[in-house]
Amino acid sequence: MNSHKHARLTASGRALLCQRVLQQGWKVLSASEAAGVSLRTAYKWLARFRTEGPAGLADRSSRPRRCPHAISIEQHQQFEQLRRQRWPLWRIARHSGCSLATISRCMKRLGLSRLSALQPPVPVVRYERQTPGELLHIDTKRLGRIQGVGHRITGDRTLNRNKGIGWDAVHLAIDDHSRVSFAQVLPDEKAVSCVAFLRQAVAYYASLGVRIERVMTDNGTGYKNQFRAACEELGIRHIRTRPYTPKTNGKAERFVQTSLREWAYVRPYESSAQRQAALQPFIDGYNWLRPHSALNHQPPMSRIPAMNNLLKLDSRALMEHCLDEHHALALAGWPTEDVLYSLRHQQMQPSHATILKLLKAIEAEQSLEVFEDILGEDPLLAYRFMVYTNSASLGLRTGIDSLRRGLVMMGYSSIKRWLSDQMPHASTEIDLRPVRESAVLRARITEQLIEPGIQNDLRREVYLCGLFSQLDDLLGEPLGSILHRIPVSERVYDAIVMRSGPYAPSLEMACALESDDAGAIRQLCERHELELEEVNRILLRTLASVQVPRPAAR
């Protein structure tokens, strides 16, 4: 029953009215006034109840029993036959003598309002090349440049009104067989940029042992004479899509949408540089870790023969197999991205072992230097400590910008209570320990790379700079938003977020030392006037100072 909002009676209300009159002896006038309806309405429902019983109290359709002017089934069939001969609606109306509105309603019921409905659906053609490199799909996507978080996230249109700051062009390539991708952010979509991207993409796939034979692009202006000449020079056949048919280059179009959803729009960025810095980690995760439905839920690199063995080593499952089942003493490298990806649905917590170590130091009444060293062994715990010391609950009048100052202001008893509150939620995930150690190692290298003779307070500030530089991977937020919650100095903020300031060269070099790109390390030494030999000594001294727990003898 579909009663309207102003209905005085429902089926149960009508039954109550009949019950009061027929069983309880109410007068019809009294029962109608109690129900809030007219006397005539009350008599109507009584008559229906006497004639049809309880079924007569239900709502009836308001449609008339017969409609002499309605079109017949034969007319319906005639209209459909004429429409399938591609007659326009006005011609059918004039031929039959009916109104255009009647013909329109009839065609709507039949699903033939548009002539396109008369055409058979185009069959979906899906194809896949047999080997990597046979066909490379290339496309571009323009993204507006960023200067601060916009109104779509903040909700305030008065902030960061950056009109006319321009666009970035994201050039993307994806292999047809393996789905291994490559992308770069370039200033425009002109022919020079397109040719430069093509050369970079061909070199990237060549490093994987893949030779590109064909390239498919759309009909944009950047893919004409100069691009065709570059393809001929590289020995590549250039294929274009059909005009106004983007589905011909469907793999590239799908990869564009995936990139927007999982990289460009996945979180708020504070600058175009921050968004660009997040592109390569996304591409690496897409190629090495992200399962692909068309590849039997395997990552794209699994289809590259030269990379298949390497891919299998970069796996948390294989790492656990080597350590737990075969009792390996050590691994060359650690699948950090795979570990963090597998724990992405969990909130990262400080280390249980570090908290326990601090509590034991309190019982032993260790010095502040020891406290600061232990607290600096866990980036999450150090960050939470600074957030807590700057919270309104403590009521401190000045901001706490270092671990040493926070320890002095809180005291042993307050620190012990705070650590006890952290203990129930502390993490015992052993696979996160190398991730924390890598952050500590970066912090130590950054501290050692700073100029000698610097004050201890500033040296500890440089250590925090390296320690907090990987918090975005652990917390899943932009570094700018993370550091805004604590009053770090401008030097630390500029080095971590903006990659500028006096601490930026040391942090940049520490990050470069984590890779195997010797050329990039030499370029940084030349740019920042660092001695390559001294950098090597600092790296060796830092690695030698790392204390590695020895496994118990079996």
pLDDT tens for 72-127 read: 888 989 999 999 999 999 999 999 889 999 999 999 999 998 888 888 877 777 77
SS3 of 58-113: CCCCCCCCCCCCCCCHHHHHHHHHHHHCCCCHHHHHHHHCCCHHHHHHHHHHHCCC
Task: Report how far residue 44's alpha carbon sits from residue 39's, in angstroms, rounded to the nearest whole number.
Answer: 9
Rg (CA), the chain: 36
Is a pLDDT exceeding 80 seen at residue 153? no
DSSP state of 132: T
Task: Report how far residue 150's alpha carbon sits from residue 528's, in angstroms, rounded to the nearest whole number.
Answer: 35
Is a pLDDT exceeding 80 seen at residue 319? no
Residues 173 and 183 sit within 8 Å (Cβ to Cβ): yes
Query: pTM score, two decimals?
Result: 0.46
Would you tell me how many other CB atoms lie within 10 Å of the CB of residue 69? 6
Q: What are phi and psi of 295, to 5 degrees?
A: -110, 30
First CA to last CA distance, the chain: 78
Residue type present at position 458: L
Q: What are phi and psi of 404, to 5 degrees?
A: -60, -45
| Helices marked H in 423-467 | 433-449, 456-467
In the sheet with 181-186, reading across from the earlier edge strand, the strands are 181-186, 167-175, 136-144, 214-217, 237-240
Is a pLDDT exceeding 80 seen at residue 207? yes
pLDDT, average across residues 203-228 = 90
Confidence of residue 309 (pLDDT cuts 50, 70, 90): low
Confidence of residue 327 (pLDDT cuts 50, 70, 90): low
SS3 of 279-312: HHHHHHHHHHCCCEHHHCCECHHHHCHHHHHHHH
Residue type present at position 520: A
- Of residues 244 and 261, the one with the higher pLDDT is 261
Is a pLDDT exceeding 90 seen at residue 171? yes
Q: Pick left, alpha or beta for residue 413 (phi over 0 → left; psi -120 to 50 → alpha; otherwise beta).
A: alpha
Residues 470 and 483 sit within 8 Å (Cβ to Cβ): no
DSSP state of 56: G
Task: Report how far residue 358's alpha carbon sits from residue 352's, in angstroms, rounded to the nearest whole number.
Answer: 10
Distances from the Cα of 500 to the Cα of 4, 212, 408, 527, angstroms: 67, 39, 31, 13
- Give the model's pLDDT for residue 554: 41
Task: Report how far residue 110's alpha carbon sits from residue 126's, in angstroms, rounded to the nearest whole number.
Answer: 31
3-state secondary structure of 314: coil
Confidence of residue 138 (pLDDT cuts 50, 70, 90): very high
- Give the model's pLDDT for residue 427: 86
3-state secondary structure of 143: strand
Q: Which residue has the tokens 């590549």?
A: 236
Residues 400 and 406 sit within 8 Å (Cβ to Cβ): yes
- pLDDT, tens digit (0-9, with 9 covering 90-100), for 503-533: 888 888 888 888 777 788 888 888 888 888 8
3-state secondary structure of 348: coil
Tell me the two tokens of residue 431: 């696979």
- Residues in Cβ contact with 410 at an 8 Å cutoff, skipping those fewer than 6 apart: 389, 394, 418
Task: Report how far residue 270's alpha carbon sits from residue 99's, in angstroms, rounded to the nearest whole number.
Answer: 60
